[in-house]
Amino acid sequence: MRNLLLQRRRTLRRWNVRTVRAVFATLAVSMILTTLAFASVTAAQKPGRVTGVIDSVTLEGGQYYVHGWACQEGNRGSISINLYANHPAGSKPPGTYVMADTANLENEPAVDRECHDADGGKHRFHTALPNQLLRTYQNKKIYIHGIALAGNVDNALLAGSGKFSFPAPKWPPDPPTPNFLDGARVAAFDTKKESCEQIDIPDAAARAFKDYKGIVHLIASHYVTRAGLGATLETAKHNCEIVYKSAHDANISDFNDATWLNSFYNVDGKRIVALGHMEYHGWEHPGMCAQKTDTASCWYNVDTYNLSDDGGYHFSRSKPPGNYFLSLPVKYEVNQGPQGYSVDANVIKVGEWYYEEVYSWAWPPNCGDGNGKKPCLAQDGACAIRTSNILDSASWRGWDGKDFTVEFVDPYRAAVANPKAHVCAPVPYLDYSTGINYHAASHLFVATLWNQGSAGWGPQGVYFTTSPDFIHWSKPELAMTRNQMLRREPEGNWSYAYFSLIDPKSADSSFMTITDTPYLYYVRMDGNHPPYQRVLFRQKIKLDWLTPLHPKPPAPAHPKPAAPSPSRPKPVPASAANQAN
């Protein structure tokens, strides 16, 4: 999902995604099918041998790097490199695969001469060696293979292989963090042990609700959605019954390609609203993308409205336009993505209002202010939205910078005269959020943030920000660094995503409210077995350090909303005869 293809907006959001799927799939391709990666290499270029050199291993700013260059002679394309430990690949005994990278950095003329590249390509590499990998491979010899781009040419071991060793990890000093964790973590869903099929993975932040029978549904959605079921959060076990299955509909105006159910609200125990993140994958549909592989440039996002009338055991989608929730006011444009809004958090009801957050990538691509750039229709950032009627998808309004007045329009039903009028103004920090709750004791909204490295307000890690009104958010407070998490892990190649809070003591059946001792849920990905080996963890935490950091405001005033005047049809309930299955 917006997922880790672009790990959360900032680095192109949903690295995830958004999501991890594509990043890990790309890693696998670099190991197995790298000869297909550069289709632009022309037949006129005579394939030469693979060559290159490992120059050094250096420590730079607390991070180790291995440097060198690699190329295929006579070919200006940048080639992939594969790192191995102890021995080369294919030797006896064989080396252990460590990681892949690409030699695609600027190089000096001497390298061009060695590469027989008169045009001057990019052939240097400057490859970071993560501490978690160094913990496993420290003191083992480094061997690097260059991967051929074209022709019937063998991959080759770079000169200098075996000369250098993987250094011992050098963890940076930890910044001050609070007394945050409160007990051991527990696997709520381990795909290695519990998946019902290969694609049955947690690919979104965990949400929960309690149905009319008192059964807890725990969902961390993929485009085929299943739930954990149990009497409590602690006893919810992964169930193989399908809750929702994406149709992969090639007709983009149906908004029915690959959908992640990301946000839930329990209306009455039987009727459960689910807001979905629909990704239209242009590369999977003939004529809708210049590429035939997963690419953000052919990625169109629309958020959809879905409803269950059986307590959340099954969700159905209304026929369009009844399934439309919100989007950018422009149609899909081939190779102009990522494009659209992504619903990322969970619905929060305070007073008469229901609140939610959606994220938009900056669009059109490479837009900006000044320097001859075209202006942005949508800015990169998060949009606050609210409604007074959770059962009417047309009633949601976005923040315009002063009030909630922005109406979202479906560009496939009618021409949009003034697209700018239908785009939200961003609010701070929520573009890093994958979960929002309400802390009733302090009258504060609490957003859970995961800074994967691109935020300017601190090291990678888990943060929280609070707001009295869903618009004005405090500076994020660091709870735990990524390095602190990694040091607690066994040896491996781990990454994290999809953080959210769910409190077993929540006062509501949608688990939107929290106390000072909720569970932190998050997904750990296994980079050595991508992309399908993942674990959804829960761990009890303490938030008593957070709310006192900000003055306690009075209970917010939530005026009774006026009845909206929706401009599009209300969605048809899932039980209606015209629902699409």
Domain ranges of the chain: 4-35+48-157, 186-549
Residue 115: predicted pLDDT: 96
pLDDT of residue 345: 94
CA dist list (Å): 411 to 1, 10, 340, 357? 22, 26, 12, 21
Res 155 pLDDT > 60 = yes
Nearest to 283 by CA among 253, 248, 256: 248
Of 72-76, 331-335, 559-563, least confident by mean pLDDT is 559-563
Please determine, for residue 389, whether its predicted confidence score (pLDDT) is greater than 70: yes
Instruction: Please list, in sequence order, all residues whose beta carbon lies within 8 angstroms of the beta carbon of residue 115, skipping any fewer than 6 positions away.
Output: 51, 69, 71, 72, 73, 74, 75, 76, 121, 123
Say which amino acid occupies 278: M
Q: Note the pLDDT tens digit of each residue in 214-246.
A: 999 999 999 999 999 999 999 999 999 999 999
Distance CA 183, CA 55 (A): 46
Q: What is the dihedral of CA 466, 468, 469, 470, to 10 degrees?
A: 10
pLDDT for residue 21:
42
Cβ atoms 281, 294 nearer than 8 A: yes
CA dist., res. 305 & res. 392, Å (int): 9
Q: Tell me the DSSP string of 305-324.
A: EEEESSSSS--EEPSTTTTE
Which residues 6+ apart lie within 8 Å of 100 measured at CB? 27, 30, 31, 80, 81, 82, 83
Q: Average the pLDDT over 386-406 and give the result.
A: 97
Quick one: which of 331, 270, 277 has its CA closest to 305? Answer: 277
Does residue 478 surpass a pLDDT of 60?
A: yes
> For 431-475, how does the pLDDT look when each residue is reduced to its tens digit (9 = 90+)?
999 999 999 999 999 999 999 888 888 999 999 999 999 999 999
pLDDT of residue 44: 46
When pLDDT is averaged across residues 3-27 and rounded to a whole number, the result is 40
Position 560 scores a pLDDT of 56
Confidence bin at 550 (pLDDT 50/70/90)? low
For residues 220 and 534, give the distance between their C-alpha atoms in angstroms, rounded to a whole number: 12
When computed from its CA atoms, the radius of gyration of the chain, rounded to whole angstroms, is 25
The whole-number pLDDT of residue 152 equals 85
The pLDDT score that the predictor gives to residue 578 is: 32
State residue 569's pLDDT score: 37
| Contact (CB, 8 A) for 433 and 449 | yes
> What is the structure's pLDDT at 549?
56
* Whole-number pLDDT of residue 453: 84
Residue 477 pairs with which residues in a beta bridge?
464
State phi, psi for 326 to the nearest 5 degrees. -165, 160
As a whole number of angstroms, the longest Cα–Cα distance in the chain is: 75
CA angle in degrees (0–180, nearest 5) for 301-266-204: 40
Torsion of CA 394, 398, 400, 405, to 10 degrees: 30
**With 0-12 CB in 10 A as exposed, 13-18 as middle and 19+ as buried, what is 18?**
buried
Tokens, residue 16: 């995830």
Statement: residue 574 has pLDDT above 50:
no
Q: Give residue-wise pLDDT tens across range 88-103.
A: 999 999 999 999 999 9
The pLDDT of residue 38 is 40
* Cβ 274 vs Cβ 291: under 8 Å: no
Nearest Cα to Cα of residue 399 among 470, 447, 343, 350: 470
Class in CATH terms, 186-549: mainly beta
| Tokens at 533, concatenated | 């080996």
**In this structure, is the dihedral angle defined by the CA atoms of residues 40, 44, 49 and 53, taken in order, positive or negative?**
negative
Predicted confidence band of residue 7 (pLDDT cuts 50, 70, 90) = very low
More confident residue, 539 or 24: 539
Q: Supply the pLDDT for residue 576.
A: 34
Range 62-70 average pLDDT = 95
Helix (H) and strand (E) counts in the chain? 5, 33
pTM: predicted TM-score of the whole model, two decimal places: 0.84
SS3 of 64-94:
EEEEEEEEECCECCCCEEEEEECCCCCCCCC
DSSP state of 484: H
State mean pLDDT over 56-79. 94
- Residue 420: its pLDDT value, please? 97
The answer, yes or no, to whether residue 296 has pLDDT greater than 50, is: yes
pLDDT at residue 570, rounded to an integer = 36
- Strands 224-225, 244-245: pairing is antiparallel
Residue range 281-290, pLDDT digits in tens: 999 999 999 9
Burial class (CB in 10 A: 0-12, 13-18, 19+), 301: buried
Domain 4-35+48-157 fold: Immunoglobulin-like (2.60.40)
**Range with the poorest average pLDDT among 5-14, 293-302, 436-445, 542-551:** 5-14
